[in-house]
């Protein structure tokens, strides 16, 4: 069986493929209406006051559209966009050069902002609040710092783990928005748009099947669509229809609920632990995945489906999860016997 993991499907760096699929204006951005509306108001108000937009904190699971929205915000504000990420800013000095190069109204996007080292985060405070930075000059005995004024700018921080941010840092963002997983009806619209861009014929039934199994995530929906395009091409099929979707998803090991092999292994592990719970470390060791990957990629969908729950001691299977395991084992046994 061909298999693919959601860690691959959902990898944060979507690769060059993603660029062509990104919506080019806020009007093209599908769903998340409340967030989009709030952004429109904030942008218009800032423009009326002739001020840069307040600092923005965008949170949500990987692949929900944080980077895309930031690009669209820059476009709406007619602002230049500078892109970096938490892990790329190891020292305050890395940030100082960037901040001093900003022009009035520029947007600075820091992806994975929860991964900024503490010293860099604290260095940002003055820049965010008072638009000043202390830049070290000279070394040794002559070492000192000079305070430099910055042009007023907008920091847009994106995070998959808002809870990891300190209250002091979070409090310095004036606008907080959270992206939620998309309902299937919105994913169908996103898939139709992607199919148009990629010039693939996608039937309504196939779009619905894909949308149901894309874990509420546009990035996953788009990747699944590309894999089905490969299959349709190899089969010489003129379009992606329900039959191609069914075969393709089965080949990728993705079931009706959008679960794939690693999800099933997590559920099986928790089922064996019943009536007990398992810590994240134990689950990670059991299935050979990093704890962070489990928390960001697998667990949110299992929690949303109410197959597992978080407790003070760890993770535990719900009654629904247990029933799923029993039914799944029965199917597996029947398949083995036949």
14 binds ligand ADP (CB under 6 A): yes
Map residues 157-196 to x or -, x wherever contact with ligand ADP holds by CB under 6 A. Answer: -x-------------------------------x------
Closest distance to ligand ADP from the beta carbon of 11 (Å) = 9
* 255 flagged as catalytic: no
* 111 flagged as catalytic: yes
Residues 196-255 that bind ligand ADP (CB under 6 A): 218-219, 222
Residues 6+ apart with CB under 8 A from 281: 291
Residues 17-46 that bind ligand ADP (CB under 6 A): 18, 21-23, 29-32
314 binds ligand ADP (CB under 6 A): no
65 binds ligand ADP (CB under 6 A): yes
Q: Which is nearer to ligand ADP, 35 or 278 (CB)?
A: 35
Strands in 154-159's sheet, in edge-to-edge order, are 81-85, 107-111, 154-159, 56-59, 175-178
* 310 flagged as catalytic: no
Closest distance to ligand ADP from the beta carbon of 155 (Å) = 16
Catalytic residue among 68, 154, 159, 160: 160
* Interatomic CA distance for residues 102 and 148, integer angstroms: 12
Query: By CB under 6 A, which span of 11-19, 124-132, 224-232, 317-325 interacts with ligand ADP?
Result: 11-19
Instruction: Find out whether 229 and 239 touch, Cβ atoms under 8 Å.
Output: no
Of 62, 157, 248, 258, which one interacts with ligand ADP (CB under 6 A)?
Answer: 62
* Interatomic CA distance for residues 202 and 208, integer angstroms: 10
Cis peptide before 275 (omega within 30 of 0): yes
Of the candidates 56, 51, 70, 68, the one whose C-alpha atom is nearest the C-alpha of residue 14 is 68
* Interatomic CA distance for residues 308 and 271, integer angstroms: 10
Around Cβ 316, how many Cβ atoms within 10 Å?
18
Instruction: Find out whether 100 and 61 touch, Cβ atoms under 8 Å.
Output: no
- The residues that touch ligand ADP, with contacts defined as CB under 6 A, are 12, 14, 18, 21-23, 29-32, 60, 62-68, 158, 190, 218-219, 222
Catalytic center residues:
66-67, 111, 160, 219
């Amino acid at each position: 069986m061909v298999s693919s993991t959601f860690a691959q499907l959902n990898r944060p760096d979507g690769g060059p493929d993603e660029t062509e699929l990104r919506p080019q204006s806020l009007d093209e951005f599908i769903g998340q209406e409340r967030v989009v509306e709030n952004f429109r108001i904030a942008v218009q108000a800032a423009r009326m006051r002739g001020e840069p937009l307040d600092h923005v904190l965008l949170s949500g699971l990987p692949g929900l559209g944080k980077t895309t929205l930031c690009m669209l915000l820059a476009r709406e504000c007619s602002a230049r966009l500078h892109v970096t990420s938490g892990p790329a800013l190891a020292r305050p000095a890395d940030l100082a050069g960037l901040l001093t190069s900003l022009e009035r109204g520029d947007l600075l996007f820091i992806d994975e902002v929860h991964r900024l080292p503490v010293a860099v985060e604290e260095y940002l405070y003055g820049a965010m609040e008072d638009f000043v930075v202390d830049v070290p000059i000279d070394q040794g005995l002559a070492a000192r710092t000079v305070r430099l004024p910055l042009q007023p700018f907008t920091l847009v921080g994106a995070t998959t783990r808002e809870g990891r941010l300190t209250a002091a840092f979070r409090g310095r963002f004036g606008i907080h928005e959270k992206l939620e997983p998309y309902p299937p009806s919105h994913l169908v619209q996103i898939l139709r748009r992607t199919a148009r861009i990629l010039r693939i014929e996608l039937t309504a039934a196939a779009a619905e099947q894909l949308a149901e199994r894309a874990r509420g995530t546009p990035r996953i929906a788009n990747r699944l669509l590309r894999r089905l395009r490969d299959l349709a091409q190899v089969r010489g099929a003129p379009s992606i229809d329900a039959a191609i979707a069914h075969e393709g998803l089965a080949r990728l090991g993705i079931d009706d609920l959008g679960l794939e092999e690693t999800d099933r292994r997590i559920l099986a592990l928790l089922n064996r632990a019943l009536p007990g719970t398992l810590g994240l470390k134990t689950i990670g060791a059991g299935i050979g995945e990093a704890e962070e990957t489990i928390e960001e990629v697998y667990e949110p969908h299992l929690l949303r489906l109410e197959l597992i729950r978080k407790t003070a001691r760890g993770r535990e299977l719900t009654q629904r999860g247990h029933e799923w395991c029993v039914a799944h084992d029965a199917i597996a046994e029947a398949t083995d016997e036949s």
